[in-house]
Amino acid sequence: MGVTDTTQQAFDRAQELKQFDESKQGVKGLVDSGLTSIPSLFIHPPETLSSLKPAQPRPDSIHSIPIIDLSGWDSSRRPSIIEEVGRVSRELGFFQVVNHGVPTEVMDRTIAAVKAFNEQPMEAKARIYRREMAGEMDTGVAFFSNVDLFHSKAASWRDTLQLRLEPKPNMAEMPDVCKNEVMEWDRQIQRLGGILMGLLSEGLGLSPGKLQELTCLESRKMVGNYYPCCPQPDLTVGLSSHTDPGVIAVLLQDQHPSLQVKHGDEWLDAPPVPGALVVNIGDILQIMSNNEYKSAEHRVLANANREPRVSIVVFHNLTDSDIQAGPLPELVSSDKPAAFRQFTMGEYWRAFYTTKLDESLVHYFRV
């Protein structure tokens, strides 16, 4: 292939991306148009597609997504729960929690509300379609397709509603169709987040309030992902392999199995468990823990079902862009020197929003 051909391909792709983004229709708009094959900008390279085989669940606990029962987290059971949370966070970085105190009806209403937002007429969603919002979040409310649309090798088959919950949620801009459900969801996850932060902190040998003292609960962002049926699910993904930013993520998924977690060289299914929530370690907590906890790669397969898949994740972050991040001093010693350099959260977010989603920033900040 000559230079001219390569240049033309790059130009054609740039034009295709620009046209898709400016249409503000998202992936659902493509589906609604009746297409039977996906546009080229969504087709992933062979090296990605070759690994898209459904993972085989393993019977042993090491090769599955553990389920942790949080009942009695503030009772005599607490030490055993802390031990389990700490172990799983070191080995896999992913676990599901049950008996977490969030009512099932609240979970169902939140899923339904995010689904309802995405199934509004295109004009209603286009009002808050903001590409720049994927990075700056000036109003704290944005609808878009693919946060890394212009940085990735290929786009993924999903649309996203992104809402800043704290500090200062923008109630005027938040869509009416899901506003009440989102705010109730935030109240529930803020409570659960406090419990999880305490357990994770003690799992590192720190005081139960250490992570909360570092503002790990005070900045929350909700991302509602909508995965319409894909006519060629073997050519694309719902969400590329990536690690999560921030401290921890709490995920609510509907009953369509698509989430997979990488363990070693294998991809493990994280099938939905009725009433469970998925918790995973983010990049910042891996760094703060000085590599004790693991921020694991995970991905979502393209949805081959006729029904759309909906998932909702709340990311817990450090609040201020001027806050310094790095390994906690209590976890650094002569036997275990700092594995990462110090940096500001502003530097972290600038790197996140200008990097392909599948490039982990954990490596970027290594010593």
Q: Is the pLDDT confidence value at 352 over 90?
A: no
Confidence class for position 133, pLDDT limits 50, 70, 90: very low
Quick one: pLDDT at residue 218? 76
Of 88 and 56, the one with more pLDDT:
88
Question: What pLDDT does 55 receive?
Answer: 54
How many C-beta neighbours within 10 Å does residue 13 have? Answer: 14
Check pLDDT > 90 for residue 312.
Answer: yes
Of 17 and 169, more confident: 17
Q: What is the pLDDT of residues 201-237, one digit of tens each?
A: 999 999 999 998 887 677 899 999 999 999 999 999 9
Percent helix, strand, coil in the chain, to 5, is: 35, 20, 45
Residues 69, 166: Cα–Cα separation, whole Å: 28
Q: What is the mean pLDDT of residues 72-78?
A: 97
How distant, in Å, are the alpha carbons of 94, 125, 165, 334 from that of 179?
29, 14, 11, 50
Q: Quick one: which of 284, 302, 117 has its CA closest to 228? A: 302
* 29, 57, 255 from 271: Cα distances, Å: 28, 9, 8
Question: What pLDDT does residue 134 have?
Answer: 43
Residues 91-118: pLDDT tens digits?
999 999 999 999 999 999 999 999 999 9
- At residue 292 the predicted structure's pLDDT band, cuts being 50, 70 and 90, is very high
How would residue 62 be classed by pLDDT, with cut points 50, 70 and 90?
A: very low
pLDDT for 260-270, tens place per residue?
999 998 899 99
The pLDDT confidence band at residue 4, using thresholds 50, 70 and 90, is low
357 confidence band (pLDDT: 50, 70, 90): confident
How high is the pLDDT of residue 240? 93
Q: Is the pLDDT of residue 137 over 90?
A: no
Residue 360, pLDDT score? 78
Residue 313, classed as helix, strand or coil, is strand
Q: Residue 54 pLDDT more than 70?
A: no
Query: Hunting for tokens 């590329």 — which residue is that?
Result: 240
Q: What percent of the chain has pLDDT over 90?
A: 72
Mean pLDDT of 180-192: 96
Six token digits for residue 291: 């590599």
pLDDT mean across residues, the chain: 90
Q: How confident is the model over 232-253, as a mean pLDDT? A: 95
d(Cα 29, Cα 134) in Å, to the nearest integer? 19
Provide the residue count of the chain.
Answer: 367
Is there a contact between 252 and 272 (Cβ–Cβ < 8 Å)?
Answer: no
- 51 or 120, greater pLDDT: 120
Task: Name the residue with higher pLDDT: 60 or 330.
Answer: 330
pLDDT at position 230: 97
Residue ranges and CATH numbers for the domains of the chain are 3-365 (2.60.120.330)
Q: Is the pLDDT of residue 341 over 80?
A: yes
Per-residue confidence (pLDDT) for residue 337, from 0 to 100: 97
